[in-house]
Amino acid sequence: MATVAEELSKSVADVAARVAPSVVGVGAGGSGVVVGPGLVATNAHNIRHEEVVVTFADGRRAGGRPAGVDVDGDLAVVAVDTGDAPVLAVTGATLRMGDAVVALANPGGRAVRVSVGFVSALDVAFRGPGGRRVRGAIEHTAPLARGSSGGPVVDVLGNLVGIDTHRAGDGFYLALPADGELSARVDALARGEVPRRPRLGIAVAPPRVARRLRQSVGLPERDGLLVHAVEEGGAADGGGIRPGDLIVRVGERDVTTVDELAAALEDTDPGVAVAVLVVRGAEEITLTVDLAAPGAADGPSA
């Protein structure tokens, strides 16, 4: 009679053998997974050039190009000749905390690796390469070597449940969930459709610095985001936002953190104007910011 350990070992070995041919190396130091004929999904931070060398599990190398790169969401799709590499489809399989998962990677094409762990948390947030908060990540404990980001996380049946992003701390790793939303994002990126996220074009001071600066000039304490710099020609510049302004509301949302600002902007159509309430000195001013202005989409979250 097989022990639990023996059954788990066989299950992991079977899954690894089935999934490994779909796992690729991306560039010199990343991983990816074949998600469609001619399509590889990986992390945006693995894409550094207009041409991407993809190394397949059998050692074949092929030059590809980024079809679409979502920097803020840390997801990219590479168009490349995938040959006979099998597709690992996004099925929308669900996970629970405590479920066993198998993580695979092919760091820079230096051979496929596999490890096993468990789901330690769900709906975790992290910051993408552009600084914007990404929500809904899976936290798991399957150990990953450097260069594993972009590789697949599968359940014990071999279903794709996530795409690894990075370490979350000692012994913990984060993955984008392979759900219906991810499938739609992959399809859009494969068509070259990159999400346009509104941005103001500002740099803000940390809240503690904002409070200290207002106190130093005798202004009353007020929650909000203190504008440190304004991008020339950006949406904020065109709308009259100036360094030293304290942004307290965008549209219908009060804002006190960069994440709240990003959420308020995401509630707004990139092609319209939004009311921004600022405190300038002791005076409240409502400004109209045109989010259709050049440079008002993509880029850093603020």
pLDDT band, residue 126 (cuts 50/70/90)? confident
Q: What is the mean pLDDT of residues 25-39?
A: 96
Q: How many domains does the chain have?
A: 2
HEC sequence for 237-280 = HHHCCCCCCEEEEECCEECCCHHHHHHHHHCCCCCCEEEEEEEE
Dihedral sign, CA of 289, 292, 296, 301?
Answer: positive
- The string of pLDDT tens digits covering residues 210-225 is 777 777 777 777 788 9
Looking at the structure, tell me whether residues 207 and 173 fall in a common domain. Answer: no
Burial class (CB in 10 A: 0-12, 13-18, 19+), 181: middle
Tens digits of per-residue pLDDT, 44-57?
Answer: 999 999 999 999 99
pLDDT value at 253 more than 50: yes
Does the residue 297 lie in any domain? Answer: no
Identify the pLDDT of residue 195. 82
**pLDDT confidence tier of residue 268, bands split at 50, 70 and 90:** confident
Q: What is the pLDDT of residue 299?
A: 39
CATH number at residue 182: 2.40.10.120
> Residue 301: which pLDDT band, with cuts at 50, 70 and 90?
very low
Residue 224, domain member (yes or no): yes
48 assigned to some structural domain = yes
Q: Which of 144, 164, 190 is the last residue of a domain?
A: 190
Residue 156 lies in a domain: yes
Task: Verify that 132 and 269 share a domain, yes or no.
Answer: no
Tell me how far apart the alpha carbons of residues 93 and 161 are, in angstroms, rounded to a whole number: 6
Q: Are residues 165 and 239 in the same domain?
A: no
Q: Using CA atoms, how far apart are residues 215 and 222, in angstroms rounded to an integer?
A: 10
Higher model confidence: residue 224 or residue 38?
38
40 and 119 in one domain?
A: yes
Are 240 and 91 part of one and the same domain? no
Cα separation, 125 vs 145, whole angstroms: 22
Structure tokens that stand for 74 in this block: 């840390």
User: Quick one: pLDDT band at residue 167, thresholds 50, 70, 90?
Assistant: confident
Domain boundary among 190, 218, 251: 190
Indicate whether 30 belongs to any domain.
yes
Q: Is the pLDDT of residue 13 over 70?
A: yes
Q: pTM for the complete prediction?
A: 0.77
Residues 174 and 42 in one domain: yes
* Average confidence score pLDDT of the chain: 88
pLDDT digits (tens, 9 = 90+) for 114-124: 999 999 999 99
Q: Once rounded to an integer, what is the mean pLDDT over residues 162-180? A: 91
Domain boundary among 155, 190, 225: 190
What mean pLDDT is predicted for residues 223-251? 91
Range with the poorest average pLDDT among 153-157, 282-286, 289-293: 289-293
Dist. CA 7–CA 266, nearest whole Å: 46
Residues 20 and 49 in one domain: yes
In this structure, is residue 109 part of a structural domain? yes
Flag whether 171 is in a domain. yes
Range of the domain at 14: 4-190
Residue 176 has pLDDT above 60, yes or no: yes
What would the DSSP string read from start to end of 5-56?
Answer: HHHHHHHHHHHHHHHGGGEEEETTTEEEEEEETTEEEE-GGG--SSSEEEE-
Give yes or no: residues 147 and 239 share one domain: no
In a domain, 10, yes or no: yes
